[in-house]
């Protein structure tokens, strides 16, 4: 009897070539929960909920861009020789991890 613990599959859902990873679901869930809590607290303080939705529309793309800059900075030896890959965010997971 095999009693070892097997790790979860990193891919939560797959639609053809598109993979949705568990960490993406967790991050999106955290952002959604943060938005809901901010809207709830804002309502108690008399703030319009559209303010928080507008903030998320600005914050999400900025967060993706900053995360990419951080990633490229720590993998600079590779990206200094492959500058065209800097904007290829869809290659980040597949290049450094095994499927």
Which has the closest alpha carbon to 63: 19, 15, 24?
24
Q: Are 10 and 82 in contact (CB under 8 A)?
A: no
Instruction: Report, as ranges of residue numbers, the positions in the chain whose pLDDT lies below 70.
Output: 1-2, 92-99
Which has the closest alpha carbon to 26: 49, 41, 8?
8
Q: Answer left, alpha or beta for residue 82, where phi above 0 means left and psi between -120 and 50 means alpha.
A: beta
State pLDDT tens for residues 7-20.
Answer: 888 899 999 988 89
30: its two tokens: 């955290």
pTM: 0.68
CA distance 67 to 71: 6
């Amino acid at each position: 009897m095999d009693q070892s613990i097997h790790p979860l599959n990193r891919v939560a859902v797959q639609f053809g070539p598109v993979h949705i990873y568990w960490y993406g679901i967790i991050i999106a869930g955290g952002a959604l929960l943060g938005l809901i809590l901010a809207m709830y607290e804002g309502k108690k303080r008399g703030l319009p909920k559209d303010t928080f939705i507008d903030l998320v529309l600005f914050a999400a793309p900025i967060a993706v861009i900053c995360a990419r800059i951080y990633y490229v900075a720590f993998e600079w030896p590779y990206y200094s020789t492959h500058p065209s890959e800097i904007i290829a965010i869809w290659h980040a997971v597949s290049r450094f991890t095994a499927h």
